[in-house]
């Protein structure tokens, strides 16, 4: 395992006072692992120097050793590399105190991080990351994008991981490079397979196809693995929505979330990366003692479907998908926390006062789940709930399994 090592000392401390400790530690570590770095940093300028000398993106594990307190500000900069992290603390000079603070900073950014205080614990932590290397690589290397803005009603939305921001102005530039004819050709097969086309006109379909093409080219140019889009902002300018595009991308294997929500996108990407399946992002529309109804105007096209308008605006092209019956998981991610429940898809609902795709789930003690969940927008995926909960725990989430 290649371990990138960085020591931190306070600007008030003298580096010379720690030279022997650093040298001894590096020598011992090099006897066990392939070591890179070994810098002592106190300031952001020294962080930049270290970053220029060693490519920490190439290490398997990042090892941070705060030799004193007051090192949190500079050592937190290494979170940018998103590598599995071990923080080593000793009983002197407020080292452990600094380490605890750093651990929480890294964990809030969904970077698996372990605090240790002995060399034996350090070795065990590195080897544990080696066992999870493939899993963690899939997770930490994901490239995600936000097109437009996070919808303002998502008042609990927060995700402290890197993502690429693409403005709606840039999206419209891509959109204007398409034509109605190209848009219709792009979704021709999808339209033909629909069991019915209710509200959408030919113009609506053309707009939906052009939105799909514009996003597809953005994904290629920005090299994104998945994206979310602030969809409601498109309605006034285009007279349409990206609902159909999101349904197509999710069916094609590219996670796509609506309303600019990054937490749901992250959950969709985990399902796609580790289970090779799509996820349905829905609103909780109703619940009772042992059931819950999800509804949204987009869903992966994995069942019979009708092309509808978008529910709230009556514009564009939404989808009414008949999702398959069977065992599944219902889950919600917010930051580093997650709730997961085993459910059974037992049927579809049809109510004109809800979003177009409506699915009824059997769930044990739905009111308890609702009381403990982390906000709206839940994901439905046809995967085992215990397997999903175990995976999320391995990735560093605090999981509540219902």
Burial class (CB in 10 A: 0-12, 13-18, 19+), 223: exposed
State residue 192's pLDDT score.
Answer: 97
- What is the rounded CA–CA span in Å between residue 371 and residue 366? 9
- What is the rounded CA–CA span in Å between residue 38 and residue 5? 5
Q: Quote the distance between the C-alpha of residue 364 and its chain's center.
A: 27
pTM of the complete model:
0.93
Task: Give the other-Cβ count within 10 Å of 305's Cβ.
Answer: 24
Edge-to-edge strand ranges of the sheet holding 34-41 = 34-41, 2-8, 61-66, 85-88, 113-116
- What is the rounded CA–CA span in Å between residue 72 and residue 99? 8
* DSSP symbol at 323: P
Tell which residue, 173, 302, 298, has the closest CA to residue 246: 298
State residue 267's pLDDT score.
Answer: 98
By three-state DSSP, how is residue 250 classified? helix
By the 8 A CB rule, do 399 and 392 touch?
Answer: yes
Which residues, 6 or more positions from 174, have their beta carbon under 8 angstroms from its beta carbon?
A: 214, 215, 217, 218
State residue 167's pLDDT score.
Answer: 97
- What is the rounded CA–CA span in Å between residue 239 and residue 241? 7
State residue 158's pLDDT score.
Answer: 86
Q: Can you list the alpha helix ranges (DSSP code H) found in 76-149?
A: 95-108, 119-131, 133-140
* DSSP symbol at 350: -
State residue 381's pLDDT score.
Answer: 98
Give CA angle at 214 (209, 218), nearest 5°.
145
- What is the rounded CA–CA span in Å between residue 364 and residue 361? 10
User: What is the H or E stretch that residue 293 is in?
Assistant: strand 291-296
Q: How many CA atoms lie within 13 A of 9 on its CB side?
A: 14
For the stretch 206-263, pLDDT in tens is: 999 999 999 999 999 999 999 999 999 999 899 999 999 999 999 999 999 999 999 9
Q: Can you list the alpha helix ranges (DSSP code H) found in 93-231?
A: 95-108, 119-131, 133-140, 168-176, 180-186, 188-193, 202-222
Tell which residue, 348, 344, 350, has the closest CA to residue 329: 344
For the stretch 13-58, pLDDT in tens is: 998 899 999 999 999 999 999 999 999 999 999 999 999 999 999 9
* DSSP symbol at 255: -
By the 8 A CB rule, do 72 and 101 touch?
Answer: yes
Kindly list the structural domains of the chain, giving each domain's residue range(s) and its CATH number in brackets, ordered by start: 2-139 (3.40.50.10940), 142-401 (3.20.14)
By the 8 A CB rule, do 3 and 65 touch?
Answer: no
Question: In the chain, which stretches have pLDDT less than 70?
Answer: none
């Amino acid at each position: 395992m290649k371990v990138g090592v960085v020591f931190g000392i306070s600007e008030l401390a003298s580096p010379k006072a720690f030279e022997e400790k650093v040298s001894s530690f590096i020598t011992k570590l090099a006897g066990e692992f392939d070591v890179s770095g070994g810098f002592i940093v106190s300031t952001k300028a020294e962080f930049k120097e270290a970053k220029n000398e060693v490519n920490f993106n190439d290490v398997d594990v990042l090892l941070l050793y705060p030799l004193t307190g007051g090192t949190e500000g500079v050592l937190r900069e290494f979170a940018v590399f998103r590598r599995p992290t071990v923080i080593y603390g000793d009983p002197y000079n407020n080292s452990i105190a600094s380490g605890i603070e750093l651990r929480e900073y890294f964990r809030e950014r969904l970077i698996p991080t372990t605090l240790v205080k002995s060399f034996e614990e350090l070795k065990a932590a590195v080897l544990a990351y080696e066992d999870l290397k493939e899993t963690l690589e899939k997770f930490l290397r994901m490239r995600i994008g936000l097109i437009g803005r996070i919808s303002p009603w998502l008042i609990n939305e927060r995700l402290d991981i890197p993502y690429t921001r693409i403005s709606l102005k840039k999206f419209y530039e891509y959109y204007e490079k398409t034509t109605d004819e190209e848009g219709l050709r792009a979704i021709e097969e999808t339209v033909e397979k629909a069991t019915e086309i209710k509200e959408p006109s030919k113009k609506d379909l053309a707009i939906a196809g052009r939105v799909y093409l514009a996003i597809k080219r953005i994904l290629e140019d920005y090299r994104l693995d998945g994206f979310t889009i602030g969809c409601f902002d498109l309605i006034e300018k285009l007279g349409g929505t990206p609902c159909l595009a999101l349904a197509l991308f999710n069916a094609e294997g590219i996670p796509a979330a609506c309303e600019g929500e990054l937490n749901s996108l992250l959950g969709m990407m985990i399902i796609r990366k580790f289970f090779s399946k799509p996820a349905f992002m829905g609103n909780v529309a109703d619940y009772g003692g042992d059931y819950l109804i999800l509804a949204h105007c987009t869903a992966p096209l994995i069942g019979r479907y009708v092309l509808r308008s978008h529910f709230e605006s009556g514009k564009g092209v939404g989808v009414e998908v008949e999702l398959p019956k069977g065992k599944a998981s219902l889950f919600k991610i917010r930051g580093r926390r997650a709730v997961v429940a085993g459910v059974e898809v037992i049927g579809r609902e049809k109510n004109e006062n809800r979003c177009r795709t409506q699915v009824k789930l059997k769930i044990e003690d739905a009111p308890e789940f609702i009381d403990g969940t982390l906000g709206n927008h839940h994901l439905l995926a046809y995967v085992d709930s215990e397997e999903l909960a175990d995976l999320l725990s391995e990735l560093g989430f605090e999981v509540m399994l219902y």
